[in-house]
């Protein structure tokens, strides 16, 4: 009998159909109904499914994996997705790169939720002599010493072959060059000019000796998605994101590098409404000598998050 094989892609599943030539119209109708059902998922559902798929793929492919948690909104959403992917637990280490310069409310938030969620928390700091000589006036050097070097030390110490981070493409033009699975060499350097293709959700999972992979499950999210997901899933957030005396922080990190923006958004709904109408960049309140494109590319090439 004369027959052919065709396929349709639905989410992350490949559906195979074997059919006779004269039944092509029927098969196309079936595919249309399947895709119509898939299209009823809203954007948050699609993003959640994609992120959980990436998280599970990473857990499956890598022997020693960890997730970075800065206590910011994005990394807390990533942590919530990790817990959702594994029935309420995070089955791998959670790393906080502690610069010693965070806001007090961020440390309180970390300690409370690490305990409530039963996290295997690793607090990492740069323990070299150079850390003692850091100058807050030189933001590039400060970030490299307090963040990048601390990350290098903890990855090396624990032999992690993969690390998940909550960066998003819309945050910065340099981060828009990233892949979901992004290799780093033995010196933690990122070769942004030579990255593996990611066709049909096939990701780079081969790790050479003394190297690791950076994994970015939130790469396709935008800031508004994050806040809408926080609202939907009732994810806790640091109080700094909400207005006090007419100002709030839209992006948080080390206190010396962050400035509040003028805002009256005192809760999640008001933050979402503000984002739907603003034209101001999310990281406008961060230290601009670090945020310039050439500076960010230099930092990320050296191993910065």
DSSP per-residue string spanning 104-172: HHHHHHHHHHHHHTT--EEEE---SGGGGG--TT-HHHHHIIIIIHHHHHHHHHHT-SEEE----GGG-
Q: Which CATH number fits domain 44-221+288-301: 3.40.50.80, 3.40.50.620, 3.40.50.720, 3.90.1150.10?
A: 3.40.50.620
Q: What pTM, to 2 d.p., does this model score?
A: 0.79
Q: What is the rounded average pLDDT of the residues 137-158?
A: 84
Region of poorest pLDDT, from 240-249, 259-268, 276-285: 276-285
**Residue 10 or 251, more confident:** 251
pLDDT score recorded for residue 148: 85
pLDDT tens track for 190-207: 566 666 666 666 666 666
- Is 281 a residue whose pLDDT tops 70? yes
Q: What is the rounded average pLDDT of the residues 200-221?
A: 77
pLDDT class of 15 with cuts at 50, 70, 90: very low
Q: What percent of the chain has pLDDT over 90?
A: 49
- Is 20 a residue whose pLDDT tops 80? no
- Is 4 a residue whose pLDDT tops 50? no
CB distance 59 to 156 below 8 Å: no
pLDDT class of 288 with cuts at 50, 70, 90: very low
Alpha-carbon separation of residue 102 from 96, 98, 165, 179, 206 (angstroms)? 11, 8, 18, 28, 35
pLDDT score recorded for residue 73: 97
Mean pLDDT score of the chain:
80
CB distance 170 to 223 below 8 Å: yes
């Amino acid at each position: 009998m004369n027959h052919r094989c065709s396929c349709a892609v639905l989410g992350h599943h490949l559906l195979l159909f074997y059919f006779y030539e004269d039944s092509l119209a029927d098969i196309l109708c079936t595919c249309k109904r399947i895709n119509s059902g898939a299209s009823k998922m809203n954007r948050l559902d699609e993003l959640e499914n994609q992120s959980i798929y990436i998280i599970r793929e990473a857990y499956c492919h890598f022997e020693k994996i960890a997730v970075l948690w800065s206590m910011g909104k994005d990394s807390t959403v990533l942590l919530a997705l990790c817990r959702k992917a594994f029935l309420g637990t995070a089955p791998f280490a959670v790393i906080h790169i502690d610069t010693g310069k965070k806001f007090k409310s961020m440390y309180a938030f970390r300690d409370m939720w690490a305990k409530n969620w039963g996290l295997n928390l690793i607090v990492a700091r740069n323990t070299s002599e150079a850390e003692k000589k850091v100058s807050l006036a030189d933001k590039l050097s400060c970030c490299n010493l307090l963040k990048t070097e601390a990350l290098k030390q903890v990855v090396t110490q624990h032999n992690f072959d993969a690390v998940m981070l909550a960066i998003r493409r819309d945050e910065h033009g340099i981060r828009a060059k990233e892949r979901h699975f992004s290799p780093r060499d033995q010196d933690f350097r990122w070769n942004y000019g030579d990255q593996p293709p990611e066709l049909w959700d096939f990701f780079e999972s081969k790790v050479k000796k003394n190297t690791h992979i950076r994994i970015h499950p939130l790469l396709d999210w935008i800031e508004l998605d994050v806040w809408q997901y926080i609202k939907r899933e009732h994810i806790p957030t640091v109080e700094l994101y909400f207005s006090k005396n007419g100002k709030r922080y839209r992006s948080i990190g080390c206190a010396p590098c962050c400035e509040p923006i003028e805002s009256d958004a005192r809760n999640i709904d008001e933050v979402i409404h503000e984002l739907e109408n603003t034209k101001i960049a999310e990281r406008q309140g961060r230290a601009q000598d670090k945020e310039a494109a050439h500076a960010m590319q230099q930092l990320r090439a050296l191993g910065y998050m």
